[in-house]
């Protein structure tokens, strides 16, 4: 059956301007870090993409190494884009990244011109696309001159393989250095992607959030639920199918201390008083001001996407609620 998107899809989503650029991003974007690779059910991958687009989530975020196996998320999403969403390519924002290990040898990692340009070519083949909308450098490279990395990003735009560029996991000082170079090249650097949640406020402490805002660059936040801690998954025990049990690389039992559990339960209580789930409140918190353009949600099934997308029509957190969240986190 040919997929036909919901005709009301743009009435249910809020769109925010990405920094000072002309690009509008949905307040909620789909992150394809987990559950889109070779270990995923492809029909479920399709349904998550369809559910997202049907609800105005027009931005699908990828990276060269997303899987598992590395590259497989791009392959699977690429199949959906070309088989089912091809007619809607101009309504979609597709982003990918390079910066973490992707292939063996000295040219498959970090931030050299050789790696970034080769990686983007490979990503475009896996996605079966002529260009991506946003190409990111995935992490700072301490050994490659920042000028080389930024010139490589600029080249991706000038060669027509990317429309915009972004930086991921940079701090405020690194962002200032990069922005100075990219802006001098008139390169459309418009966005920073960083981890940000109630439990991880690094971008507030390292200057990234303020510097990005002052320079007119957008921010898109990943891991807004702290790998699932800011949800109802761990309120009582550790489910056998949870990320702690099945993966453990990014979240382990040592993260779930009694002190953390107390905070999670207190936050959950506040969320219920607001008429939200804990996950919804955590997403609302990330979008509490105009310095964050969009929040990336992960999902393992379409119903999670539907629940998370509801935040755009829910009441924003009040100053009193924000202070209470801070008090809970600092207790």
Distance CA 72, CA 75 (A): 5
Q: Is residue 76 pLDDT above 80, yes or no?
A: yes
Q: Residues with Cβ < 8 Å from 145, sequence gap 6 or more?
A: none
Work out the pLDDT band at 72, boundaries 50, 70, 90. very high
pLDDT of residue 237: 66
Q: What band does 233 get if pLDDT is binned at 50, 70 and 90?
A: confident
| Among 164-173, 246-255, 267-276, the least confident range | 246-255
With cut-offs at 50, 70 and 90, classify the pLDDT of residue 235. Answer: confident
pLDDT of 247: 59
Structural domains in the chain plus CATH codes: 9-228+279-315 (3.20.20.100)
pLDDT of residue 293 exceeding 90: yes
pLDDT score of 251 more than 60: no
Per residue in 152-195, pLDDT (tens digit) is 999 999 999 999 999 999 999 999 999 999 999 999 999 999 99
Rounded to 5°, angle at Cα 274 from 259 and 203: 55
Question: How far apart are the C-alpha atoms of 171 and 143, rounded to whole Å?
Answer: 16
pLDDT at 239: 59
Q: Helix (H, G, I), strand (E, B), or coil: what is residue 96?
A: strand
Name the band, by pLDDT with cuts 50, 70 and 90, for residue 245: very low
Angle at 158 between CA 155 and CA 159, to 5 degrees: 80
What average pLDDT does the segment 227-251 reach? 69
Q: Where are the beta strands (DSSP E) in 124-214?
A: 132-137, 162-168, 189-195
240 pLDDT tier (thresholds 50, 70, 90): low
Overall residue count recorded for the chain in this entry: 331
For the residues 231-253, what does the mean pLDDT come to? 64
User: Residues of the chain with pLDDT > 90: what percent?
Assistant: 91
CB 229 within 8 A of CB 198: no
Rg, the chain, Cα only: 19
258 compared with 93, residue with greater pLDDT = 93
Q: Which tens digit of pLDDT belongs to each residue from 13-49?
A: 999 999 999 999 999 999 999 999 999 999 999 999 9
Record the pTM. 0.95
């Amino acid at each position: 059956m040919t997929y036909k998107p919901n005709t009301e899809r743009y009435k249910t989503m809020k769109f925010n301007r990405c920094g000072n650029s002309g690009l509008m991003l949905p307040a909620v974007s789909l992150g394809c870090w987990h559950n889109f690779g070779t270990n995923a059910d492809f029909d479920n991958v399709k349904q998550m993409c369809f559910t997202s687009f049907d609800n105005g989530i027009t931005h699908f975020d990828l990276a060269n190494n997303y899987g598992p196996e590395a590259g497989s998320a791009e392959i699977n999403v690429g199949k959906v884009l070309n088989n089912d969403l091809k007619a809607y390519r101009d309504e979609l924002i597709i982003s990918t990244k390079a910066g973490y290990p992707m292939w063996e040898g000295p040219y498959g990692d970090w931030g050299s011109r050789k790696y970034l340009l080769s990686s983007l070519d490979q990503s475009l083949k896996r996605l079966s696309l002529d260009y991506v909308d946003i190409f990111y450098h995935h992490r700072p490279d301490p050994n490659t001159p920042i000028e080389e990395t930024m010139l490589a990003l600029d080249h991706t735009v000038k060669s027509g393989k990317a429309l915009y560029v972004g930086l991921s996991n940079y701090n405020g000082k690194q962002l200032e250095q990069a922005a100075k170079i990219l802006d001098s090249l008139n390169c459309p650097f418009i966005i920073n992607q960083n981890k940000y949640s109630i439990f991880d406020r690094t971008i507030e402490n390292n200057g990234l959030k303020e510097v990005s805002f002052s320079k007119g660059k957008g921010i898109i936040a990943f891991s807004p639920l702290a790998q699932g801690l800011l949800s109802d998954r761990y309120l009582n025990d550790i489910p056998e199918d949870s990320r702690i049990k099945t993966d453990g690389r990014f979240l382990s039992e040592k993260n779930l201390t009694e002190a953390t559990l107390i905070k999670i339960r207190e936050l959950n209580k506040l969320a219920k008083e607001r008429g939200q789930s804990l996950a919804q409140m955590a997403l609302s918190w990330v979008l509490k001001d105009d310095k964050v353009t969009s929040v990336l949600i992960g999902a393992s099934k379409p119903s999670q996407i539907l629940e998370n997308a509801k935040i755009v029509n829910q009441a924003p957190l009040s100053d009193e609620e924000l202070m209470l969240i801070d008090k809970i986190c600092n207790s």
